[in-house]
Homo-oligomer: A and B are copies of this chain.
């Protein structure tokens, strides 16, 4: 379906969970078999292996040898669990503030990209209404600090920030899409394209697509590395050009 995060429940409860502020100590009552951390860890493990689609409450409970409904004692629902998962993996970026502002933005992009590589299901998590936890907030502060040091006006810092965030998450997402599809469908990108050879043979119209034909003949699509390499270069190229443009606008 979709980016199925939203946190329909009580926002205060979700935010308290994100910052791991337990409601209060409970010396009385039955001992808990599982903790929030265990649930989040197990959920991430399932999603890493089999995709977000396979991360069901029943599946996570099974992983912890616990009844499905037990999870609801610790976590309001599935949407909130996804919030917790996302913020947790965003904390894996350890962002060291070294170098020029450009180097720091590049560093941020690389670390974020690494998160997506390690957790391809992040593709399916919308960042428009993000989990307001430490993982997200620390990243924002890091990029904003770099941009503020660049000499941009405060006003332009915020708009450049949104553009960079959008590019990084968007590019990282489309880069791991391929792997995620491979994981869920069991078919690799190369094999997928290979199976569609029939398209180039029977449907591609040279007259309708002259530019593609020319580029093909000019060897523009000859490639040494894999499809993953190509996407990686595009990520770097695009970010570089975007930063060039931002820098150029300052002078």
Q: How many copies does the complex hold?
A: 2
Which B residues touch A208, using CB under 8 A?
A: 137-138, 141
A164: B residues at CB distance < 8 A: 238
Q: How close is A118's CB to chain B, nearest CB, in angstroms? A: 17
Q: List 17 A-B contacts (CB under 8 A).
A: A2-B121, A2-B123, A2-B184, A3-B177, A4-B53, A123-B126, A127-B174, A129-B192, A137-B209, A138-B208, A154-B215, A162-B238, A163-B238, A169-B174, A244-B249, A245-B245, A245-B248
Instruction: Say which one of A11-19, A24-32, A61-69, A86-94 lies at the interface with B.
Output: A11-19
Q: Which residues, 29 to 61 on A, are CB-close (under 8 Å) to B? A: 51-53
**Contact A211–B148 (Cβ < 8 Å):** yes
- Which chain B positions have C-beta within 8 A of A114? none
Q: A1 contacts which chain B residues (CB < 8 A)? A: 1-2, 4, 51-53, 124
Contact flags (1/0) for A150-187 with B, using CB distance below 8 Å?
A: 00001101111011101101110110011011001101
Q: Give Cα A219–Cα B8 distance, bound, in whole angstroms.
A: 31
A237 interface residue, CB < 8 Å from B? yes
Q: Which secondary structure dominates chain A's binding surface?
A: helix
By a beta-carbon cutoff of 8 Å, the part of chain A in contact with chain B is: 1-4, 6, 8, 11-12, 15, 19, 51-53, 121, 123-124, 126-129, 132, 137-138, 140-141, 144-145, 148, 154-155, 157-160, 162-164, 166-167, 169-171, 173-174, 177-178, 180-181, 184-185, 187, 189, 192-193, 195-196, 198-199, 202-203, 208-212, 214-215, 218-221, 230-231, 233-235, 237-238, 240-246, 248-249
Assess whether A154 is in contact with B220, with CB atoms less than 8 Å apart: yes
- Is A177 within 8 A of B128, CB to CB? yes
Contact across chains for A2 and B53 when beta carbons are under 8 A apart = yes
Closest Cβ of chain B: how far from A211's Cβ, in Å? Answer: 4
**Distance from A116 Cβ to chain B, minimum over Cβ atoms (Å):** 12
Query: In the complex, how many angstroms separate the beta carbon of A190 from the nearest chain B beta carbon?
Result: 11
The answer to whether residues A2 and B180 also contact, given A159-B233, A234-B162 and a CB cut-off of 8 A, is yes
Asked whether, in the complex, the Cβ of B159 is within 8 Å of the Cβ of A234, the reply is yes
